[in-house]
Amino acid sequence: MDSKEQLLQAILDRAVDDRKVFGTSFCISYGDLSWCGSSGNLAKEGQYFMASTTKLFVTAVILHYRSVGLLSLDDAITKFLPSEILNSLHVLKGRDYTQNITIRL
Give me the percent of the chain exceeding a pLDDT of 70: 97
Span 52-58, average pLDDT: 81
pTM passes above 0.85: no
At which of 12, 32, 48 does a domain end? Answer: 48
Span 63-83, average pLDDT: 95
Say if residue 56 is in the same domain as residue 33. no
Listed in sequence order, the residues at least 6 apart from 83 whose beta carbon sits closer than 8 Å to its beta carbon are none
Residue 67's domain spans which residues? 49-105
The answer to whether 98 and 76 have CB atoms below 8 angstroms apart is no
The pLDDT score that the predictor gives to residue 67 is: 97
Nearest to 35 by CA among 67, 1, 79, 78: 1
Say if residue 40 is in the same domain as residue 71. no
Say if residue 57 is in the same domain as residue 77. yes
Q: Provide the pLDDT confidence category of residue 56 given band limits of 50, 70 and 90.
A: confident
Q: Which whole-number Å values give the CA distances from 48 to 44, 89, 103, in the listed order?
A: 10, 17, 21
Say if residue 104 is in the same domain as residue 88. yes
Say if residue 34 is in the same domain as residue 53. no
Q: Total domain count for the chain?
A: 2
